[in-house]
């Protein structure tokens, strides 16, 4: 039996898509093995957002060929769509497939005989209109599955290459997603994370929306939790917030990209909101549910970001009840408008600002976790063991640890939070569930 391995760089969406591509190989009789084992074929799914896409891709190709010098190497994903010629320079690559082609590998190759020169099949981005449903379903742990419900983006943020690599915003009909979610429930997954490039834009072009989708997903037996990976602040309405918070299944966890707390920088980024709208959203969520978790993405070192702009961002975040941060250091991307903006921030300064915000993010996370001490939550337990402990997440995305007990894996079991240690909350299992459910959050 021929063997294939996969290597994924980048976001959850890429992982979900790799999983779908691997299913196709399985159907064709391939054995899927871990990356690093000897193989006949290796598929590398790349990302354009990472700062060193070229270096990362080169490193992975070399590693694959070191173990299997005759392996047929396929490179696909966002970086392949944007820079196929760069990838073709990497020694040992046989096939480069763009965003339209990545789900049709067998249309382009069947015998997997090494070429010793790279063949490129990349459609222009304007021709990309298909949607491929995908989900990442780690076999080791049937707790959480990432379900792709949307792809591409019509926003035109000045720093972003994603629309150039993934094309225009598109999404499938609700029933297609429901079918996939039912399959995940049958496989034992209890939580689904709705993923996409711009999830809040789900359904806009097909006469529906994210709100309608989650209402249908809630009806699926076996799916106990629905988490929304991320939603733009301008797309998150108060009606949605009310509904999500009242729902038994939708997690009270809102990941809302901020990018900057300065309106001047937000305008240069071409974001579709200002800091006031963001503040209102956060305060509204907290006014409805003090335990709700709110995460934010921030970019530091955007062209023209002065020390004063940065301070504005820092203070804006510091003052708001945000629970954690994902901090990104701005880096120049070819073919974006931001690359031509004046006011380049020196690299060391970008790193200093990034470090400051990372520290702030950690501080806010610990404050949020400590606010949960003494409260009771349901936790979905995962299989990973570290130092004799197992971990799981509450609906409001608090990571909780308890001594390892295999019988709890993939079960939702209530705990009381009794402390915080090593960036996780310490839980105590509540033995009498019937009593605890009365007060459960």
Point out which residues bind ligand SF4 (CB under 6 A).
Answer: 153, 155, 157, 160, 162-163, 197-198
Of 44 and 165, nearer to ligand SF4 (C-beta) is: 165
Q: Which is nearer to ligand SF4, 84 or 167 (CB)?
A: 167
Least Å from the CB of residue 146 to ligand SF4: 17
Exposure string of 77-116, with b = 16+ CB inside 10 Å and e = fewer, is bbbbbbbbeebeebebbbbbbbbbbbbebeeebeebeeee
Half-sphere exposure of 157 (CA within 13 A, CB side): 23
Looking at 271-371, list the stretches that DSSP marks H as alpha helix, in order from N- to C-terminal side: 275-288, 307-319, 347-371
Among 174, 348, 439, 160, CA closest to 272: 160
What are the CA-CA distances from residue 29 to residues 25, 40, 108, 219 (Å)?
A: 7, 13, 17, 35
The least CB distance from residue 129 to ligand SF4, in Å, is 17
Cβ 280 to ligand SF4 shortest distance, Å: 19
Taking the complex as a whole, how short is the minimal distance between the CB of residue 157 and ligand SF4, in angstroms?
A: 3
Residue closer to ligand SF4 (CB basis): 257 or 414: 257
Q: Look-up: residue for tokens 């992982």?
A: 15
Pairing assessment for the beta strands 41-46 and 3-8 based on DSSP bridges: parallel
Question: At closest approach, how far in Å is the CB of 230 from ligand SF4?
Answer: 9
Nearest CB to ligand SF4, comparing residues 300 and 402: 300
Considering beta carbons, is residue 162 or 426 the nearer one to ligand SF4?
Answer: 162
In the complex with ligand SF4, the residue whose CB is nearer, 4 or 162, is: 162
Compute the least distance from the CB of residue 300 to ligand SF4, in Å: 15
| Pair of tokens at residue 64 | 């694959």
How many alpha carbons lie under 13 Å from residue 196 in its C-beta half-sphere?
A: 28
Rounded to a whole number of angstroms, the minimum distance from the CB of residue 152 to ligand SF4 is 8
Q: Which CB sits closer to ligand SF4, 157 or 327? A: 157
**Least CB distance to ligand SF4 at residue 48 (A):** 11
Cβ 198 to ligand SF4 shortest distance, Å: 5
CA nearest 21: which of 77, 71, 89, 68? Answer: 77
Which residue from 3, 101, 91, 2 is spatially nearest to 45, judged by alpha carbons?
Answer: 101
Q: Which is nearer to ligand SF4, 31 or 232 (CB)?
A: 232
Which residue lies nearer to ligand SF4 by CB, 43 or 258?
A: 258
Please enumerate in sequence order all residues whose Cβ is within 8 A of that of 82, keeping only pairs 6 or more positions apart, or say none: 48, 161, 164, 165, 334, 335
Is the CB of residue 333 less than 8 Å from the CB of residue 291? no
Contacts (Cβ under 8 Å, ≥6 apart) of 97: 74, 75, 76, 80, 104, 105, 108, 121, 122
Q: Which residues contact 108 (CB under 8 A, 6 or more apart)?
A: 95, 97, 101, 119, 121
Given the complex with ligand SF4, which of 177 and 299 has the nearer CB atom?
A: 299
Rounded CA separation 344/338 (Å): 10
CB of 347 vs ligand SF4, minimal distance in Å: 22
Nearest Cα residue to 286 out of 326, 320, 325: 320
**How far, in Å, CA of 334 to CA of 49, rounded?**
11
């Amino acid at each position: 039996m021929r063997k294939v391995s996969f290597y994924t760089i980048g976001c959850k969406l890429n992982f979900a898509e790799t999983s779908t591509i691997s299913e196709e190989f399985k159907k064709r009789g391939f054995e899927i093995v871990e990356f690093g084992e000897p193989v006949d074929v290796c598929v590398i799914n790349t990302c354009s957002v990472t700062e060193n896409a070229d270096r990362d891709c080169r490193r992975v190709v070399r590693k694959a060929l070191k173990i299997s010098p005759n392996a047929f190497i396929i490179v696909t994903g966002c970086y392949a769509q944007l820079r196929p010629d760069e990838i073709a320079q990497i020694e040992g690559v046989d096939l480069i497939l763009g965003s339209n082609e990545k789900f049709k590998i067998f249309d382009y190759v069947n015998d997997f005989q090494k070429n010793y020169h790279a063949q490129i099949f990349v459609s222009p981005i304007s021709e990309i209109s298909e949607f491929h449903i995908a989900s990442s379903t780690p076999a080791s742990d049937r707790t959480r599955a990432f379900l792709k419900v949307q792809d591409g983006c019509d926003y035109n943020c000045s720093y972003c290459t994603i629309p150039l690599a993934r094309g225009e915003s598109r999404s499938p009909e609700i029933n297609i997603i429901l079918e996939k979610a039912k399959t995940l429930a049958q496989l034992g997954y209890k939580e689904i994370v709705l993923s996409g490039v711009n999830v809040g834009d789900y359904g806009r072009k097909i006469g529906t929306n994210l709100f309608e989708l989650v209402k249908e997903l809630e009806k699926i037996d076996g799916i106990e939790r629905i988490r929304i990976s991320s939603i733009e602040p301008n797309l998150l309405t108060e009606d949605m917030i009310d509904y999500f918070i009242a729902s038994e299944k939708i997690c009270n966890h809102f990941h809302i990209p901020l990018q900057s707390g300065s309106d001047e920088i937000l305008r240069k980024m071409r974001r579709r909101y200002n800091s006031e709208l963001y503040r209102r959203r956060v305060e509204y969520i907290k006014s409805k549910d003090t335990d709700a978790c709110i995460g934010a993405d921030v970019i530091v070192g955007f062209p023209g970001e002065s020390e004063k702009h940065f301070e504005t961002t820092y203070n804006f975040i510091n003052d708001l009840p945000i629970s954690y941060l994902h901090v990104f250091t701005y880096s120049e991307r070819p073919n974006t408008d931001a690359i031509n903006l004046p006011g380049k921030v020196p690299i060391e300064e970008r790193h200093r600002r990034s470090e400051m915000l990372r520290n702030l993010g950690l501080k806010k996370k610990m404050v949020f976790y400590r606010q949960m001490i003494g409260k009771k939550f349901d936790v979905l337990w995962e299989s990973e063991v570290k130092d004799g402990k197992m971990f799981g997440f509450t609906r409001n995305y608090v990571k909780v640890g308890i001594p390892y007990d295999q019988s709890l894996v993939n079960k939702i079991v209530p705990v009381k939070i009794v402390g915080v240690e090593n960036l996780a909350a310490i839980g105590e299992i509540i033995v009498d569930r019937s009593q605890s459910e009365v007060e459960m959050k």
